[in-house]
A = this chain, B = another copy of it.
Amino acid sequence: MSLRGLTPAEVLDKALAGDRHAIGRLLTLVERGGGPADEVASLTHALGQDATVIGITGPPGAGKSTLVGQLIKEATKNGARPAILAVDPSSPLSGGAILGDRIRMDDPDSDSFIRSIATRGHSGGLALAVPGAVRVFDACGFDPIIIETVGVGQVEVDVTATADTTIVVMNPGTGDAVQANKAGLLEVADIFVVNKADRPGANEVRGDLQIMLDLSHMTGREEAWGRRPPVIMLKSLEGVGFDELWQEIQTHRGFLDEGDKRSSRQLLRQEAEVEARLEQILHLAAGDVMKSAAGTQIMAELNSFDLAPATAAQRLAALLLEAS
């Protein structure tokens, strides 16, 4: 069964009917970017948005993959149909995944869907590919959509900051709470998880976390929820603690659904996506103007030290921008 001759709209029809190959194909189109990705984005956007987006982040090695595997089981047991998007930022030059190549196998007999996403070099790629993939999953009826990120860099914070529910995962005895604080993850967490809670140092991490939450100003998330983010002690390998985690996710969802707070986070995600698209258009326009005749002249004056860098940039901007 080949999908290659079909238009994006035809592939979407098959995906909406539950064809897993078609869903995978849409995700591939989204990941590659360009015209077909925009078409998939437009088609799925028109279907509206309904699913809850859960962001899971934390330092590398915190056991997020195992945790997500168990969370899928717990969600399925409770009648949900989760989709998982594992985000791998790529190397800028080689296109390879810096943080380790991970192959995630999807089980075709399962009702859930697991997909690893990476972007091969195109600028702002993840900022466009992630919302596109979320929308494909949403259109195909998956809920919740779980975004799992690899590290604690800019990409991770950006992705998880706009999730409906953000879960920050830490390990015992590794200084993870301090790392998470430094990376700004305490600010965006709705729920904390201490993974491998049977290991020495688990209670210390919990304690560190409480101290940091005590010391810091109340976070935006904390203030919104009117509640200190809960700290769940998990044993992922044994599957212990996932009923409590799932319950807290439902409690947070219930809070968001009161007063339509969930749709306001959806709007934030949409606006971040449009901003990323706009920046990409401007980036291309900037490249063009630097290569234009007028741009070349400005760069020549810069290079003969007759024009300062700030002035050169202002002149180039004046060539590009309306009424400036």
Which A residues contact B (CB, under 8 angstroms)?
Answer: 38, 41-42, 45-46, 48, 91-94, 96-98, 131, 152-154, 157-158, 179, 181-184, 187-188, 267, 270-271, 273-275, 277-283, 285-287, 290, 299, 302-303, 305, 308-314, 316-317, 319-322, 324
Contacts and interface: CB of A to CB of B under 8 A. Distances in A.
Contacts of A308: 38, 41-42, 45-46
B270 A94 contact: no
Contacts of A187: 93-94
Nearest to A95: B184
Nearest to A38: B310
B290 A182 contact: no
How many copies the complex holds: the figure is 2
Nearest to A184: B93
Given A285-B321, A310-B41, A322-B320, A94 B182 contact: yes
A65 to B, nearest CB: 20
Contact of A286 (B157, B158, B275, B314): B275
A183 B274 contact: no
Contacts of A305: 45-46, 48
B183 A98 contact: yes
Nearest to A278: B313
A293 B133 CA distance: 30
Given A152-B98, A182-B98, A271 B285 contact: no
Contacts of A188: 93
A106 B3 CA distance: 63
A274 B317 CA distance: 11
Nearest to A267: B303
Q: Dominant SS at the A interface?
A: helix
Interface centre among A98, A182, A278, A314 (most CB of B within 10 A): A278
Contacts of A313: 274, 277-278, 280-281
B91 A183 contact: yes
A58 to B, nearest CB: 13
A181 to B, nearest CB: 7
A277 B182 contact: no
A93 B283 contact: no
A98 B156 CA distance: 13
Contacts of A154: 92
B184 A91 contact: yes
A82 to B, nearest CB: 24
Nearest to A323: B322
B42 A311 contact: yes
Contacts of A287: 275
Interface centre among A92, A96, A273 (most CB of B within 10 A): A92
Given A267-B303, A320-B322, A321-B321, A310 B93 contact: no
A299 B277 CA distance: 13
A316 B276 CA distance: 12
A316 B152 contact: no
Given A92-B157, A281-B317, A309 B182 contact: no
Contacts of A285: 282, 317, 321, 324
A179 to B, nearest CB: 8
